[in-house]
Structures are given as C-alpha cells and as structure tokens.
Structure 1
C-alpha cells in the first residue's frame, strides 16, 4: 500500500497548486490512498465545503485538519456528514463534532488514519499521547496506521513518533509549513517525517505575504498577516510505501524543482 500525503494547503494559491499538481502526482506515484491536510485552505484559516469538495475532486481520498479546524462554523456540519474529513482526535469533550480516526478498506488491507494535535506552544487541549493509546485500541491488529500530527515543535513530533514506534506504520508532522529533511524509519519500523511542508505561495513566508512578516520583525508590533494569493505555486508532499519496510520519501514541486516525468 502506498500513501501520498500532501502538506498544509494554504489559501487560494494552495488550492490552485492542488488542482494543478495533485492529479499529476497521483499519475506519477500511483498511490492507493491520497491524504491532504486542508486546515488552511480557506484564506489561510479553516476550511469550507467549497474547498473540501475541490480537494476531493482533485484526487484526495481523505482530508485532515489542525488547530484552525474550527475557524469556519460550517465545518461542524461537514465533520458530522463526512467520514473522510478528520479533525484532531484529542480535542476535549464527548460532544465534539466529527472524528479524528477513520478506518478504510484498501483493496485487501485496512488503513487507519489518525489526526492528532500537539500541545507544546499551542492551545491546551487533551494529551495526544494518551489519545493515541486510546484510539489505537479501536484499530484492528492487522491494519496499517497513518498519523498526521499537527504540532508546533520538532521535539513533540519526534517524541510522539518514538512513543508510537512499532505500533503504527507512519507519523508525519504538519503545521510548521517548512518541509524537513529527516524522512527515515525508526528502530521499530515506523516511518517518520517531522514536517511535510505546505502547499501554497512559493514567494511568501509560510504562505503569507513576505512584507507583512518582515514588518512584524522590524517594528516588534502586531501586524496582520495577509495571505499571499499572488505568488507562484508550490506543493510539498511525501510518499510512504507500506509494503517495503515503511519506506518514506519527500517531494516538492515548485519553480526551482519542476515536476519531472
């Protein structure tokens, strides 16, 4: 089983990059499952039905979210009606809309996809470590398990990956929008990547207009970040081959790294 996982879709440029590149990536890599993190799809904060349907139409099988999951009110209904849209499983409360775990039949195998959110330097929500323990008890023993861990710090991402090593097939980090160069397999067989990167403007900073970010550092005063919807598109992704010792490889398509046949 091969998974194609695409990093945080950021605003309109990110959606354009998905439409342009995702079908081509699927043709090149032939994944059995395609997962896209869409938590920034609507103007950089949250997701609406329009973007959710567009991601599916472009080729996503599942869409994961993160700390901006609740920024658009309509997402609550979307989560209740669509089991292929996941929010972080460790949000507190028994009445939280939607789910952070889905188990899909993929040919003769099962794939469990788990969406979790970190707590270090982020809002205080339930513990992702114990949430993972609890949810993994619901997963069939022979199922493959993929985790999108939406977290700020590299240490928390690495710690959860090592904590779950040998119990899951792969853990890939999202949220920080910069692809890391540490794709590898942990000692007990779990594939790990600290951050898959983002899909959006190649010319901004983390998907926002560069000048708004520069201005904040120059003045040390609050500055409104503006989404860069005029830049050149990029897409960041990874592939995970679960049939060959959970091999993970990163990929990028941008003006400096064109998509090669």
Structure 2
C-alpha cells in the first residue's frame, strides 16, 4: 500500500496549496491512501466543515486534528457524522467524534488511521499509549488490516520516539505533527514500523511555524499579549512523508520525505518500479 501523509496545513495558503497539489501527487505516487493533518487550516486555528469538504474533493482520504481541534465550533456537529475527520483518541470519554477510522479501499484492503496527542508540554489528557493499545488489540496489522498509521500530535521529540518504539512492529507508520518543522530522521525501525519525528507543515516557511513572523517575534520580545497571530501568506512548502508497505505484513518497505515548493530544499520519493511517473 502506498501512503502519503502531509503535515499540518496552515491557513488559506496551506489549504490552497494542498488542494491544488493532491490530485497530481496521487497520480505520480500512485497513492492508495492520503492523510492530511488539518488542525491549523482555518486562519491557523482549527478546521471548518467547508474546508474539510474541499480537501476531500482534492483527494484526501482522512483528515487528522490536534490541540486546535475545537477552535472552530462548527466542526463539532460535522465530526459526529463525518468519520473521515478524526481527533486525538485520548480526549476524554464523551468527546464528540472518534480518534480512529478504519477505511476499506476500492480493492478491499483495509487501512486503520489513528490520531493521538502527546502530554509533555501539552494539555492534560488521557494516556495516548494506552488508548492506542486498546485500538490495536482489536485490529491486528497484517491480519484484519493491511496498513495502520498513527499521527502522533506532540511537542516533545522524546515522547514521539518512545511512542514509536513502543508500537514498533504493530504499526505501518508513526509520524509526528505539531512542531511544524520537518525532521531528517525518517527511518524504518527494527521491527518494521516507519517513523518520522515530525512531518513538517504545509505553509510558508518565511514565518514562525507558519504564522506572520513580525507579530510572532514581538511576543518573545515583550512577553505581553499582542495582535492576533495571522498565517504567513508567502510561498508554501508542502511537507510530508511517503510510505510503501508490504501487503502481507503491513510493515514498511520504503519511507521517504516529501517537500515541494516554497523555501525548503525539495525532495520527492523515487519510485524504483515506475520511474516514468516522475516525469
């Protein structure tokens, strides 16, 4: 199974860039599954239903959220009916929506997508490790599901790494989000799980984690409330990670970062079996 995960898309610029790029990315990478973290889609804070629909129309299969899940209140009734938008699984019992979704692809293969949120330097939530364990106890990789992906929305790199090693061999991919900075540690762990500490963001990197740099920097100088932060509107870099799995085991065969456009150095997965697709 070929999977693309795109990191936090930020504001209108991020939304528009991802919506424009996804159809071509699906074609060039022959994707089976496209997952996008969309918790910063609305002016950098939250996701609105119309934005979710646009991303689905462009080719996203699942949208994940994070600590800004409820910043747009319209998402609350929407997430109750739209199962392809998921919020962190370790939100308290009774929270609207679900923290995981099981998709059946057109060819009958099944993919499990989980959204979990870390607790170090974040909100006080239920345990993401135990919440993920509970779901995986019902969906065995390589048996009931052919792929299983976790978007681990967390601040601390240590927590992300500990999470990945804890579930090595039981997930196809653990990819971090939230810090908006792509890390250079994409790898396949010893038992076969693909891992990347942070996928980065789909937004302008001439910014402070996607927000206009002047107002964001001013907050560090003055340590006083200032104007509301606004997403930067510069050229967007689309950042994410590509994974190809073995359909028998569900484990990773190849993993590669993806970056295109904007200011960061570009990199695109090489499909060894189909080089013509990269033309």
Same structural fold, with TM-score higher than 0.5 when normalized by the shorter chain: yes
User: Normalization by structure 2: what TM-score?
Assistant: 0.88
In 1: Cα distance, 2:192 partner to 2:175 partner: 14
Q: Does the 8 Å CA contact 1:170/1:246 hold for their aligned counterparts? A: no
Local SS of the residue matching 1:240: strand
Matched residue, 1:219: 222
Q: Does the 8 Å CA contact 2:116/2:150 hold for their aligned counterparts? A: yes
Matched residue, 2:272: none
1:78 Cα deviation from its structure 2 partner: 1.1
Local SS of the residue matching 1:198: coil
Residues 245 and 125 of structure 1: is their aligned pair in 2 closer, same or farther, counting only changes over 3 Å?
Answer: closer
Gaps of at least 5 residues in structure 2 are 269-277
Local SS of the residue matching 2:138: coil
1:111 Cα deviation from its structure 2 partner: 0.9
Local SS of the residue matching 2:17: helix
Matched residue, 1:246: 253
How does 1:71-220 map onto structure 2 within 5 Å? 71-93=71-93, 95-106=94-105, 107-141=107-141, 142=143, 143=145, 144-220=147-223
1:101 Cα deviation from its structure 2 partner: 1.1
Root-mean-square deviation (Å):
1.7
Q: Does the 8 Å CA contact 2:172/2:252 hold for their aligned counterparts? A: no
After superposing on structure 2, the runs of 4+ consecutive aligned residues of structure 1 that deviate more than 4 Å are 256-260
Local SS of the residue matching 2:202: strand
Task: Report the count of equivalent residues.
Answer: 260
In 1: Cα distance, 2:228 partner to 2:254 partner: 37
User: Normalization by structure 1: what TM-score?
Assistant: 0.94
